[in-house]
Structure 1
Amino acid sequence: MPSPHPLGDYLRARRELLRPADVALPEGAGIRRVPGLRRSEVAAIAGISTEYYVKLEQGQEAHPTDQVLDSLSRALRLDATANSYLHALARITSKPTSPISPPAVERARWLISSWPTTAAMILDRRFDIVATNPLMSTLIGGYQTGRNSVAVLLLDADVRALHVDWNGLSARSIALLRSRAGLYPDDARTQELITHLMRDSDRFRELWHRYDIEGMTEGTHSMIHPVVGALSLHYAHLPLVGADDHSIFLYFAEPGTPTESALAALVPGR
């Protein structure tokens, strides 16, 4: 079930991950009955009262000022992405889900279909796969329209075997899902996905309650493909404007590299 206090849950989760040494406090300051920092310690570092901080964690106060949020962000050692998420949690309002924009998604389908040597797929805000181009389907067979990309990564053994750093990739993917799920606490499909992954994925159960947050990024993934062997693929995750938090995820190769040649060999019809 979705939590009725997403802001408080997030504050508590991040507080429990910090050790006194992380914020220059002595480890031996009394017996610690709970993991991480005490509420009073976070409040003192943030410059607010313990009573007010307790209200935030318990959901009795859900709309702190930006100044308070920034102080808490510094106290909890949040990075820029996590700080933005903290502010967004404090501004959640109950509102109907916006419909997708079919023209925008359809244009994106045309776009990715025109990329013969770039593997790409369109994702909705839950990371359900809305469309793939032929190369993405050949590169990673598990990524098929209608499936959830995070679930595929976590549960499909063949997809897991492709990725050299599956642990790092799975951690980032769970954190990215967390960054979206927390902002749509009433979305039934998201809650269904979380329930499914909590039941079936050890990795998801291990990391979900850490409340790690990840933004859309770019970088490099190393793969061992069963047909063409080692690949060093650049990736990018791009928001799709005008399409209800849809995005395009793509893999591409640096020109003139062995990976470019290997990726070209996977192009259907070649």
Structure 2
Amino acid sequence: MKRKTAIVTGASHGIGQAIAVALAKNGYDIGINYCNNLRGAEETRRLVEGAGASALLLQADVGSYESLSAMFKQFDAIFDHLDLMVNNAGVSEFHPLLEVTEAQWDRVTRIDWKAAFFGTQFAAQRMTATGKGGVIVNITSNHIDGCFPNANIYAPSKAAVDTFCRNAAMELAPHKIRVVSLAPGYTNVWSDDNPIQLVRDRIPLQRFATPEEIANILVFLASDACAYLTGTRVTVDGGALLPVVPENDMNGGSLLPLQIHETEEHK
């Protein structure tokens, strides 16, 4: 029986690396995409192979159509099928709206949105050709629903990917291809002295996710247990977007004591 195969973009560190390793532990051989971080990609390969899977390093700038196309051809030279595509690569840049440059807009949109679009297209072409279908998971963000400071390019790019997932799922369903959006919230990929750590206690679960937690959810979404799930989004953010009104955001995110006011009819 053939082992399953997957491509994970942006797999040289963080969530992407954790996804590659988790998939390797669950029967997948992995195409490990990276752009510049060769050392990180080699570490991912070591971990993947340590889990008993085959690993192929795939250097590519996924925001470039030509580079992405070449990456898939490199994968095709080694593997004759693709079961799972994980469009994870992205950049998180935050700039005030009045100061955004065209270069910044192009960079974030190209890597966060264009790469997911054509990564989905190239993967679906291969899944359709084999007639066996497959699964495509696009990593988005809880920025889709929240409004975060200076996320003027990043949030709309992730929202575009999320909407695209639903369109792609509808069109690819006859080909037995499922398309799902996975939206992490705060995930602990930062150093302990990073100022972002200050928001930890304002999250209802009062901690960040680990990359491994996000990866384990992705493995589940790609599994046969979710065979009837497509065209939807799974948000994993510890409830970070729940305290949305000012009263809920006081006292470090804790709810104010509930005050019940008697009315004449309840006396």
TM-score interval, normalised by the smaller of the two chains = under 0.3
TM-score (norm. length: structure 1) = 0.24
Taking structure 2 as the reference length, what is the TM-score of the superposition? 0.25
